[in-house]
Each structure stands twice: as C-alpha cells, then as structure tokens.
Amino acid sequence: MNVRSQISMVFHLDKCIGCHTCSIACKNIWTDRRGTEYMWWNNVETKPGTGYPAKWEDQEKFKGGWEKQNGKIRLKSTGKGRIVTNIFHNPHMPSMDDYYEPWTYDYQHLFNAPEGPDQPTAKPISMVTGDYIDIESGPNWDDDLGGSPVYGKNDPNLEGLTEEQKLQLFSIEQLVFFYFPRICNHCMNPACVASCPSGALYKRGEDGIVLVDQKRCRAWRSCIAACPYKKVFFNWFTGKSEKCILCYPRLETGQAPACFHSCVGRIRYLGVVLYDADRLEAVANLPKEQLIDGQRDLILDPTDEHVLEGARKNGIPDSVVKAAQESPVYQFVKVWKLALPPHIEFRTLPMLFYVPPMAPVMANRKNGALNSVSDNLFHDIDDARVPMRFLANLFGAGQEGKVAYALRKQKAVRWYRRAVTVGDVDLETAERMLREADCTIKEAMAIYELTSLCTFEQRFVIPPMYREKALEALRDPHEVKQSAGFGFLSGPRRGM
C-alpha cells in the first residue's frame, strides 16, 4: 500500500443558486490579465446545456481523456508520440468559436461623444482585434436556458434518452434546469499531466494539486486537447498554458480557495482524502461500470491502523491525517455515497465530486411537490422531471442506480427531518424511508448537519501545508519523469 494524500472537493448541487459569485471571485484574482480575457477557471453552467467551451463533454469532437485499447488505457488525443503529426494543427483543439470572443464596451464614448439628439451608447469591442463586434456568444450564454432548442437540446448528456424522455425535458410547461459549477478536478490520473511533452504540468506530491510550470511550458497545448473537462487554457499573450491552481497560496495560509470562500449557496466542501497510489493504474483501467466503485475503493479509511502506518511510512504528517479524519469529502463520497464524480468514464479519476440535485429534479411532475407518498416511497424519483438517464450520463458513467441511490438517500433525510421538525409527515413512514434508502437515523442527522447547518470550519477542513517537506522541495521537479498520469507516483523518497 502506497498511501498518498490529496485535497479533494464536493459541490452540493441542490444548494447552487446560479449566482456566479464564484466565477467572479476567481476572475478578479487570477484571470484579470492580458491573454486571459476569455478564461474562466471557475464557470457555472446550466444543465441541460452545452456549457463552456460549447459541447466540451463531446469527446467524439474533442478527443479528450483516456480510452482503452488492448486492455490498457491511452490518451485519446495528443500523446507524446502523436504530438508531431498535429504540431501545426490539431483538429480536435477547441477554438475561439467554441469559447467566445472576449469583449469590452466603448465606455469612453459615453463621455466623449459629441452632443447630439440621442443618448450615446457603449458599443461592444472585441478584446482580441479591438474592432466593434456583434456579440454572438459568451461564457454563460445559455444561462438559465435549459429548455432552449439551441443549447439544451445539444447537451451531449441527452445521449440514450428516449423521445418521450426528451419531450418530458423540453416541453414548455415542464421546463427544468439546474446549475453545474465547474473548476479543474485536480484528477488522480490527469490526462493533462500525461500529455505534456515538456513535463510542464505536474501534480504536487503532498496534496495532488495539478499545476503548470510556466517556465517549462513550450506552448504545445497538448494539455488543452487532452483534458476532457477543458480546464486548461492557452494564454495567447504569454504563450503558456494556464489552469486553476486551487488557490494554493490561500490554502497554504489556511484559507479556502476564493470560489469556495465566496460561494453564496455554501455548496462547496473541501478536505483531504488518503488513497492507495499503488492501485491507481489498475482502477483507471477498470471497465466503465466499475469505475465509480473502483475510485471509492481507492480512497482509504483514515482511521484504519494499516492506513495510518502507511501514511507514517510515506511521511504524511499527523496533522494531515487528522484533517483526513475530519474531511467532509470523505463522508460525502465514501461513507454516505452521496457525491459522484463527473464523467468518470473519461478515466482521469476526478477529485471533485457532485451531490446530484434533488429539488429541481424531483419536484414532482404531476403533483408539483416533494411531499407525496405511495407504497413506493421513492416514486417521485422514478418520475423525476429530469430523466434519471440524463443524470446518470453526467454523474454515473451511465449507471442510473448510482444516481438513484444518492437521490433516494437525500429524499429520505429530508423526509425524516420534516417529520421531526415540522411534524406534518408520519415519523414511522420517514423511518421506513430511511431504512429503504440504506440510511440510519445517526447518518441522516450527520448528513442533515453537514448539508444544512455546517460552519465554515466543517465545510473547509484545510490541512496545514508543509511545503518545506514536499516532494518538489526535496528534488528538482524537472527531473521528475511524467511519462503518464501515473508518473507522479514514484512516492516520496524514503529517509529524506
């Protein structure tokens, strides 16, 4: 067992109000510079929708992530061997059309326009060419447009839905959407790291944050093609790739990343998990339907004696282990099985997990409320406004059971708390619902508290950072061979 620690995240989608505060917090700190105008390291999408860049989930188009060939996984797009053939043009790279042409407004005209019969206007100006433009798309152009034929109907997650299910999703009286905030997933098996011919991308040994070494980046842009989540961006001004750094300077001083700190809906949780790096490659190679359980199995019980011994042997400080024991992410992902990875079939093993949204999805189509009960206590999940298949394509690698499990448990907790606090539903039925949802009363209370009553300190369990003890500080990171996503797994040098 090779125990490693990783900072990981949970976003609780039931709580996201789509306010975009997170995106603005990030933009103001990190991408308010020349060459980064079009970059949104944090963005919030409306689902169903095409997202940013448009249709990023469509790997037929972008060829991101890993694929299995002859029993082994390999990068779908640009690997070291294949970069040469695409050196001048990679047909699968997102272009400005897929993002958007960044613009500002001619504000000066408001002040300098000559006197005339009309109010002066501030026309949009391209931040690329400086010319006046007609705005045709933007980073959240499809905001709240879940039912639109242009955006909603082009969502790649609609694959496999029957015509009846699509009708259910898009008929005007029943329109439904939910928000999907996204940042880099700081994956366990990052395709971006594996694809870089210069070894400029690396995963920090002590906490798994994925970074781009700006000095080593040679503008190959293979990371941009390889990341299936399209969370690496090219700065046209500096000629280097850039991406979310999980606000590591804030983390190192004990503060949550800006998007977490500013989140109005308090949907974001951050904590350490311990995992077994020796099994990472085997898990990334599992059949698609076993990937969710495989990744969960990789995450280790931070109270287990063998794990603690392994952590000590690998030099993981006790304070980091303690943070892992208090990690909200461990509870949501491993213990409660409420949080699921997005598109794990891309095989990068993302370390950002999502609690699938219940309220917008389940507000019953026929009764318009959550509080209906029949012999089948969970009938309104089966009859959800968003077809389970859609959610399963997004969060369950196509398996509806994984998403249904999380929604059933959420409903049972909500029902139980309603019985306790409001008293307008039957406690006995609520307890039966908990049992059928594989949830004890103790667990229901813990879920309720961490979802609804959590303090700042419970949401963000940030371990003390030990940069001076980190792998990179002990050896020249440029010597680290990063031949694959597993390349960072050589482990800390014993005895150093």
User: Taking the complex as a whole, how short is the minimal distance between the CB of residue 308 and ligand SF4, in angstroms?
Assistant: 28
Q: Does 30 bind ligand SF4 (CB under 6 A)?
A: no
**Residue 369 amino acid letter:** A
Candidate ranges 127-135, 186-194, 292-300, 418-426; the one touching ligand SF4 (CB under 6 A): 186-194
Pattern 122-161, ligand SF4, x by CB under 6 A: ----------------------------------------
Q: How many chain residues touch ligand SF4 (CB under 6 A)?
A: 28
Nearer to ligand SF4, 22 or 323 (CB): 22
Contacts of residue 466, Cβ cutoff 8 Å, sequence gap at least 6 = 206, 317, 320
Given 27, 47, 76, 186, the residue binding ligand SF4 (CB under 6 A): 186
Long-range CB pairs of 286-295, under 8 A, 24+ apart, other chains included:
288/345, 288/397, 288/398, 289/397, 289/398, 289/399, 291/344, 291/345, 291/347, 291/349, 291/397, 292/340, 292/341, 292/344, 292/396, 292/397, 292/399, 292/402, 295/188, 295/341, 295/344, 295/349
Nearer to ligand SF4, 75 or 321 (CB): 75
Return the number of other C-beta atoms located less than 10 Å from residue 102's C-beta: 15
C-alpha dist (Å) from residue 178 to 152, 230, 378, 411? 11, 21, 21, 17
Q: Does 454 bind ligand SF4 (CB under 6 A)?
A: no
Token match 């040679």: residue?
218
CA distance 323 to 466: 13
Q: Is 447 exposed, middle or buried (0-12, 13-18, 19+ CB in 10 A)?
A: buried
Nearer to ligand SF4, 391 or 419 (CB): 391
Q: Does 229 bind ligand SF4 (CB under 6 A)?
A: yes
CA distance 329 to 268: 10
Pattern 243-282, ligand SF4, x by CB under 6 A: x-------------------xxx-x---------------
Q: Does 21 bind ligand SF4 (CB under 6 A)?
A: yes
Token match 């999980």: residue?
246
Q: Does 227 bind ligand SF4 (CB under 6 A)?
A: yes
CA distance 96 to 392: 30
Q: Is-contact 336 343, C-beta < 8 A?
A: no
User: Taking the complex as a whole, how short is the minimal distance between the CB of residue 193 and ligand SF4, in angstroms?
Assistant: 6
Pattern 193-222, ligand SF4, x by CB under 6 A: -----------------x------------
User: Taking the complex as a whole, how short is the minimal distance between the CB of residue 228 and ligand SF4, in angstroms?
Assistant: 7
Residues 375-434 that bind ligand SF4 (CB under 6 A): none
Given 26, 169, 200, 232, the residue binding ligand SF4 (CB under 6 A): 232
Q: What is the binding site for ligand SF4 (CB under 6 A)?
A: 16-22, 44, 179, 181, 184-187, 190-192, 210, 227, 229, 231-232, 243, 263-265, 267, 348
